[in-house]
Amino acid sequence: MTVGAMPRGAVLRLAPSPDALAQAAATEVLALLEAAMAWRGDAHLVLSGGRTPAALYRSLAILPFEGWPNVHVWFGDERTVPPDHADSNYRMAAETLLGAVPIPAAQVHRWAGELDPAQAAADYDAALRVLAQTQERDVPALDVLLLGLGADAHTASLFPGSPLLSESLAGATGPADRPDPAGRSTVSLAAAVHVPALDTWRLTITPAVITAARATIVLVSGADKHAALRRVLGDDPSPLDAPATLLHDAPGDVAWFVDRAALFG
Ligand code: 6PG
């Protein structure tokens, strides 16, 4: 069921339960991947972390889809832990999806969470920049971007007050952003950020990469996300206070896949 009346043309897709949400989102993800392949032969899918997407990834792993060998997988963010750590977003994706579908290992772009955060961010920035160059863009256009929503309205690892948000809002685009000798501005694509609320470092794609996605699906499940969802979709706070509102300015398609508990509390 689609619910309209959304800010800036975003679309709200309402599912009756977490399982129905996972199924509906999985069907949409595969349709978007098929469309990307029809145009460009391959597709770039960005996975989100946390707990909510696990059910979606399990659904993706069992739905019929022949296109996996042409899919490149990226991660919107990662924790600063090794890939076998219980908190690793890569580990969760590997256990629920990547181990079950035939994506070539070279097409799975894992953040090196085991390295020094600045080095891991630099490596990921370089990998995204290779993709951008093949697209003749400064910022890569990723075909399908999956995001979650935190109870504090964070998304990826862009938390309230993040310097990445203030730089993006101020028009600057981050520490690596300066005209390069070729005269093109280099926009930072990946960053390591300290999150005071969690007292830890996180690795994340930047607002520039998020808003450049061709299609974004935000997956929101559970009554604990109700307040954040109402803020982001209703009150229109600043992205600095509610980072997920940065999606309202994304020119691509943004669909909010939510279940009844998230929408109605
Ligand atoms: C992460 C995610 C993060 C997540 C939200 C929601 O690494 O944790 O990228 O942005 O999507 O925190 O997490 P849950 O799905 O666990 O509620």
| pLDDT digit string, tens, across residues 22-38 | 999 999 999 999 999 99
Q: Which pLDDT belongs to residue 181? A: 54
Structure tokens belonging to residue 158 = 């862009």
Query: Which residues lie below 8 Å from residue 99, measured CB to CB, with a gap of 6+?
Result: none
Q: Which pLDDT belongs to residue 153? A: 97
CA 47 to ligand 1 center in whole angstroms: 11
Mutate which of 52, 110, 229, 247 for ligand 1? The one with the most ligand atoms within 8 Å of its CB, which is 52
Task: Report CA-CA distances (Å) from 243 to 61, 152, 153.
Answer: 30, 9, 6
CA distance 230 to 189: 29
**Which residues are bridge partners to 11 per DSSP?**
255
- Atom number in ligand 1 closest to CA 148: 11
Mutate which of 154, 205, 257 for ligand 1? The one with the most ligand atoms within 8 Å of its CB, which is 154
Is 148 in contact with 155 (CB distance < 8 Å)?
yes
CA distance 262 to 224: 7
Could you read off the pLDDT tens digit of each residue along the chain, which spans 265 residues? Answer: 566 567 666 799 999 999 999 999 999 999 999 999 999 999 999 999 999 999 999 999 999 999 999 999 999 999 999 999 999 999 999 999 999 999 999 999 999 999 999 999 999 999 999 999 999 999 999 999 999 999 999 999 999 999 999 877 665 434 444 445 554 557 899 999 999 999 999 999 999 999 999 999 999 999 999 999 999 998 778 999 999 999 998 999 999 999 999 999 9
Q: Which pLDDT belongs to residue 178? A: 45
CA distance 41 to 33: 10
Mutate which of 21, 48, 220 for ligand 1? The one with the most ligand atoms within 8 Å of its CB, which is 48
CA 156 to ligand 1 center in whole angstroms: 7
Residue given tokens 């862009």 in the structure block: 158
CA 39 to ligand 1 center in whole angstroms: 31
Give percent helix, percent strand, percent coil of the chain, each to the nearest 5.
40, 20, 40
CA 259 to ligand 1 center in whole angstroms: 16
- Atom number in ligand 1 closest to CA 51: 16
Which protein residue has the closest C-alpha to ligand 1 atom 10?
156
pTM comes to 0.94
DSSP output for 144-207: EEEEE--TTS-BTTB-TT-HHHHHHHTT---TT-SB-TTSPBPPP-EEEEEETTTTEEEEEE-H
Q: Which pLDDT belongs to residue 237? A: 82
Q: Report the amino acid identity of residue 77.
A: D
Is 138 in contact with 130 (CB distance < 8 Å)?
no
For 166-205, the pLDDT digits (tens) are 877 665 434 444 445 554 557 899 999 999 999 999 999 9
CA distance 72 to 143: 10
Helix (H, G, I), strand (E, B) or coil at 24: helix
Which protein residue has the closest C-alpha to ligand 1 atom 8?
50
Pocket (CB within 6 angstroms of ligand 1): 48-52, 76-77, 89, 148, 150, 154-156
Q: Which helix (H) or strand (E) holds 34?
A: helix 18-40
CA distance 111 to 83: 9
